[in-house]
Amino acid sequence: MLSPPRRPRPLSTEAPARAAERRVYRSLTSTMDEAARLVREGERGPLWLLALEQTSARGRQGRPWAMPPGNFAATLIDAPEGGPMEKAQRSFVASLALRDALAEVAPQAHLSLKWPNDVLLSEGKVAGILLENFGPALAIGIGVNLAAAPGQGDLPEGAVRPVSLLQETGVAVSPEAFLDRLAPAYARWDARLVAEGFPSIRDAWLAAAARLGQEIRARTPKGETRGRFDGIDARGSLMLTTPAGPVTLPAADVYF
């Protein structure tokens, strides 16, 4: 195990398409931590940060995020226009970009998108997305199980099992090579959001949505709601039809 440097220095820097800089690090506590540090120093992006090792990665709500060797961990720093709603819509942009990048390296893969921020491969979780606002900038954290799936531990009932790209498809790809696909895919979908608005992104996301029209469970701090997954609204909120009528949830954990 490599110890993260106190002030990490990138191993390499290059400029992918759309003028988004890229920095690759040998080891970080997390790419989100590095993004927060850079934003404090004035960075506004667009800038991709890729770590080959993370020692203290986290997912939604501060949950630990395991990163076996060979997996993908990156954060995009950007400063898109608009308020909190427009920034939150970048989660759907990232989902679509991940789907495209995975389909490019593994055309035979069966991929779907799970609300609010997961990508499924053969109905197992292969990738997750985390958005955090750092004042003037937005950080979009992305983790992908390229080489290995973390241990399942004590998964809640109905939780999606973790899988890896290599395990499910036999395709081996390095984190750097995967970023070669992901960065331009994200730039394309982000440009579409800016040019056409969220309805275009919403339609594309729904076309790949997992369990659309089926019963799911949505859990919030206030309790659990069961209902038919009817899609997402104009803000990106989850839409359910329950025995008590329609329900819209801006945030929740979804279980199948």
Among the candidates 207, 229, 247, a domain finishes at 207
Q: Are 193 and 249 within one domain?
A: no
CATH number of the domain that residue 73 is part of: 3.30.930.10
pLDDT of the chain along its 256 residues, tens only? 333 334 444 444 343 345 589 999 999 999 999 999 999 999 999 999 999 999 987 766 556 667 899 999 999 999 999 999 999 999 999 999 999 999 999 999 999 999 999 999 999 999 999 999 999 999 999 999 999 998 766 566 778 999 999 999 999 999 999 999 999 999 999 999 999 999 999 999 999 999 999 999 999 999 999 999 999 999 999 999 999 999 999 999 999 9
* Distances 139 to 45, 122, 233 between C-alpha atoms, Å: 10, 28, 24
Q: Are 112 and 220 within one domain?
A: no
Within a domain: residue 197? yes
Cβ-count burial 66-87 (b if 16+ within 10 Å, e if not): bbeebbbbbbbbbebeeeeebb
**CA dist., res. 100 & res. 125, Å (int):** 16
Q: How many domains does the chain have?
A: 2
Q: Are 94 and 176 within one domain?
A: yes
pLDDT at position 56: 85
pLDDT at position 7: 46
pLDDT at position 66: 75
* Closest alpha carbon to 11 in 44, 56, 52: 52
pLDDT at position 67: 86
Q: Are 157 and 37 within one domain?
A: yes
**85 CA to centre of own chain:** 17
* Closest alpha carbon to 143 in 119, 127, 163: 127
pLDDT at position 226: 97
Within a domain: residue 240? yes
**CA dist., res. 94 & res. 111, Å (int):** 14
Q: Are 181 and 243 within one domain?
A: no
Within a domain: residue 3? no
Within a domain: residue 5? no
Q: Are 125 and 223 within one domain?
A: no
The pairing of beta strand 12-14 with beta strand 21-25: antiparallel
What is the domain range of residue 81? 12-207
pTM of the predicted protein model: 0.90
Q: Are 143 and 88 within one domain?
A: yes
pLDDT at position 12: 42
pLDDT at position 19: 59
Within a domain: residue 55? yes
CATH number of the domain that residue 235 is part of: 2.30.30
Within a domain: residue 7? no
Are 249 and 238 in contact by the 8 Å Cβ rule? The answer is yes
For the chain, report the end-to-end CA distance as a whole number of angstroms.
Answer: 36
Q: Are 58 and 111 within one domain?
A: yes
pLDDT at position 16: 38
